[in-house]
Amino acid sequence: MRKVLAAVFFVMIILSSVPLANAKIEPYVYKPTVPDTAFSVLALYETGDYAKVLEGCEWLMMLRTPFDSWGFAYGEDHEAKYTAMAILALIRGERIASGRYNTTINNAAYWLIYKQNPDGSWQDYTDTALALIALREFLNSGYLNEKLPGLRKQVQEAIDRAQGWLMAAQPKNDVERVFGYMALGKKEDLKKMEVDGELAAYRAFALAYMGERIELTEDFQSTVAIAMALYATGSEKYREELLKKEHFGFWGVLHYRVLDLLSASKISGFEDLKPIACPYIDKITPNDDWEKVILADYYIACGKKPELPTNYSALLPWQIAEVARVKALLSEDYEDAVSYLLKISKDGIWKDFYNTEYVVWVLKNLGVNYDYARSLEYLQENLTWMLETKDSKTGNPIYYNTPTYYFAYAAIVFKEFGLERPLNESLSILAERQYPNGGWPYTQGSVVGLTSTTRVLWALQEAGLTDTSIYEKGVQFLRTILYVDIPEPEESGNAVKLANATFLLVRNGLYIGNSTNSADVSSLDGYVVIYPSQSPLMINAYEVNGFIASEPAPSKRMAYIYIIAGAVLITLAVVVSRSWKKRNKR
């Protein structure tokens, strides 16, 4: 995965330096995942959004392993359940662009057969249920390659073994139960299940897959649940919600930490990251008083009132100062926190360099009447000591081991009090520590990080130092890794052009090939643009005369009949086998 991300970031860096016509600069902070993308494809096929189906299918093609199998996301261990999800999705894509996904579908089915355990199972109950569903649909899809010797027989045998294993095994939770009932065609058992929350969408999806009409009105949060609800109901409400969750042709999860994105959103020009990150903040709950303090500012940024500690004895001085600052933002009385800080001060010093500078910054901003002279003297002396003292083991200056943000907050304080020499020393350390790409590490020589970079940039912004070269380089670093310039194809008559792009061409329901940089699209159903051709960032499908889809073969109703018939046959086989064993024992 690291190699892929490195390639993507390299592409983003290259593209960021090249002016693009008709380009849209957008946040690029998600990564595609198989469950989100595959189930979205299943749902949007049902609603006739065939362009979106092809976009999702092409991303699935990008996420596959060399064995035509899938993990949760690119580079993760391939598993039966994710491979099954991809097969189901690609079967829909094959109905729209025949010939594009056929080989991959057959290879993926063969991989499932190869990975099946002797007892008929795959990794766990859900893997087995989904693999059974996918193989059965593949067998009846019309896409099985009859030129592969014995494949049809192998698929049928794998289905029979999986069905037998599921009938003997017991699901451990409701998710397993839903997929198990779906795989075994137990519609009545599904109807009797009492579920709520996201599971209501799972149950509705399973029933709809077996031909049952379903009504749903609930709100769902996860992409998979919304996709399942759309598949089951065809509701425009769920369709709109699902399309809002699409990112550059895929569905997935945040690639970056929510708190890092919120920190970046405080930097001027990056405010549009806040609405992306804030919906996830409710999933982050503090476990103790320390975490309550750390999360408070992020909660406020998202319009959520934080719960603050009332007992300060176990908190660090900077945390108590942060409580006072947050209370001030909430227009609440903060005198208790300030009084506590003044009480625990030791001659203007609060524990260490960072705690002292943070407390001084907060008290000054709150307008607290306090003699800051000793505190400022301590900060300057400590900074000088870090610059002049060397580590006895490494020979490096002590400040090499000091976190970068210490000096960023020091810059705020020294600028606030007009202390030019220590301010310049702090800025020199920040300039020395900044990497050529503009980012900052946690400590000297460590890996560049989004967290450290955003903290430094915010501090420079707070200190009014946005005209410095280190600030400008840092902003460019953020823009390079968090945003991307996405160009639009240029139309000229019947031709469409986009440099460094691949065009997949579909005519009369058939995939007829691809071209690079340009394509004649006059007689097409539509085309899919993959940009750039290597390490894609965006996949968009465009309709010309309109994509068309062949009808599924067999219908959902017929597939359900096959499921029931198979289950009955296996049940009879089990009964006969047990009866035969009893007679032989006698």
Looking at residue 75, which CATH number applies to its domain? 1.50.10.20
The answer to whether residue 376 is domain-embedded is: yes
| Residues 210, 284 share a domain | no
The answer to whether residue 226 is domain-embedded is: yes
The answer to whether residue 20 is domain-embedded is: no
Residue 19 token pair = 């002016």
What integer pLDDT is reported at residue 15 of this predicted model?
Answer: 45
Give kind and range of the element (H or E) at residue 177.
helix 174-184
CB atoms within 10 A of CB 105: 25
What integer pLDDT is reported at residue 580 of this predicted model?
Answer: 44
The residue range of the domain holding 520 is 488-543
**C-alpha–C-alpha distance, residues 20 and 13, integer Å:** 13
Residue that is written with structure tokens 């390299």 in the block: 10
| Residues 386, 499 share a domain | no
What distance separates the 2 farthest-apart alpha carbons in the chain? Answer: 100
What integer pLDDT is reported at residue 575 of this predicted model?
Answer: 41
For 120-165, list the strands marked E by DSSP. Answer: none
Specify the long-range contacts of residues 422-427, CB closer than 8 Å, at least 24 apart.
Answer: 422/379, 422/380, 422/383, 425/383, 425/387, 426/383, 427/465, 427/468, 427/470
**C-alpha–C-alpha distance, residues 182 and 164, integer Å:** 14
Among 437, 455, 478, the domain boundary falls at 478
**C-alpha–C-alpha distance, residues 514 and 100, integer Å:** 10
| Residues 115, 89 share a domain | yes
| Residues 504, 357 share a domain | no
| Residues 212, 304 share a domain | no
For each of the chain's 586 residues, which pLDDT tens digit applies? 444 444 444 444 444 444 444 556 889 999 999 999 999 999 999 999 999 999 999 999 999 999 999 999 999 999 999 999 999 999 999 999 999 999 999 999 999 999 999 999 999 999 999 999 999 999 999 999 999 889 999 999 999 999 999 999 999 999 999 999 999 999 999 999 999 999 999 999 999 999 998 899 999 999 999 999 999 999 999 999 999 999 999 999 999 999 999 999 999 999 999 999 999 999 999 999 999 999 999 999 999 999 999 999 999 999 999 999 999 999 999 999 999 999 999 999 999 999 999 999 999 999 999 999 999 999 999 999 999 999 999 999 999 999 999 999 999 999 999 999 999 999 999 999 999 999 999 999 999 999 999 999 999 999 999 999 999 999 999 999 999 988 999 999 999 999 999 999 999 999 999 999 999 999 999 999 999 999 999 999 999 999 999 865 444 544 454 455 555 454 444 444 444 444 444 4
User: Whats the size of the chain, residue-wise?
Assistant: 586
Beta bridge partners of 503: 515, 529
| Residues 374, 261 share a domain | yes
**C-alpha–C-alpha distance, residues 574 and 578, integer Å:** 6
| Residues 326, 306 share a domain | yes
| Residues 271, 235 share a domain | no
CB atoms within 10 A of CB 452: 21
What integer pLDDT is reported at residue 566 of this predicted model?
Answer: 52
What integer pLDDT is reported at residue 23 of this predicted model?
Answer: 58
Torsion sign across C-alpha atoms 354, 360, 363, 367 = negative
* Full DSSP string of 396-450: SBGGGGS-HHHHHHHHHHHHHTT-HHHHHHHHHHHHHHS-TTS-EESSTTS-EEH
Torsion angle of alpha carbons 416, 417, 418, 423, nearest 10°?
A: -70
For 54-110, list the strands marked E by DSSP. Answer: none
The answer to whether residue 19 is domain-embedded is: no
CB 500 within 8 A of CB 533: yes
What integer pLDDT is reported at residue 24 of this predicted model?
Answer: 65
Residue 181 DSSP label: H
The answer to whether residue 570 is domain-embedded is: no
| CB contact set of 155 (below 8 Å; sequence gap of 6+) | 109, 113, 135, 138, 139, 144
The answer to whether residue 566 is domain-embedded is: no
**C-alpha–C-alpha distance, residues 471 and 475, integer Å:** 6
| Residues 447, 357 share a domain | yes
Among 204, 229, 253, the domain boundary falls at 253
Secondary structure class of 486 (helix, strand, coil): strand
Beta bridge partners of 496: 491, 519
In whole angstroms, how far apart are CA 451 and each of 55, 258, 360, 361? 33, 11, 23, 20
Nearest to 39 by CA among 23, 57, 27, 22: 57
AA identity, residue 355: N
**C-alpha–C-alpha distance, residues 18 and 487, integer Å:** 11
**C-alpha–C-alpha distance, residues 377 and 335, integer Å:** 26
Specify the long-range contacts of residues 13-21, CB closer than 8 Å, at least 24 apart.
Answer: 13/437, 13/480, 15/484, 15/485, 15/532, 15/537, 16/479, 16/480, 16/483, 16/484, 16/485, 20/485, 20/487, 21/487, 21/490
Secondary structure class of 579 (helix, strand, coil): helix
Among 478, 496, 513, the domain boundary falls at 478
The answer to whether residue 206 is domain-embedded is: yes
Q: Is 0.75 topped by the overall pTM?
A: yes
| Residues 307, 246 share a domain | no
**C-alpha–C-alpha distance, residues 534 and 530, integer Å:** 9
The answer to whether residue 11 is domain-embedded is: no
| CB contact set of 175 (below 8 Å; sequence gap of 6+) | 126, 199, 202
AA identity, residue 462: E
Residue that is written with structure tokens 């009090």 in the block: 417
| Residues 246, 266 share a domain | no
Query: Based on the structure, what is the number of domains in the chain?
Result: 3
Kindly report the CA angle at 98 between 97 and 102, in degrees rounded to 5?
A: 115
Give kind and range of the element (H or E) at residue 3.
helix 2-16
| Residues 122, 90 share a domain | yes
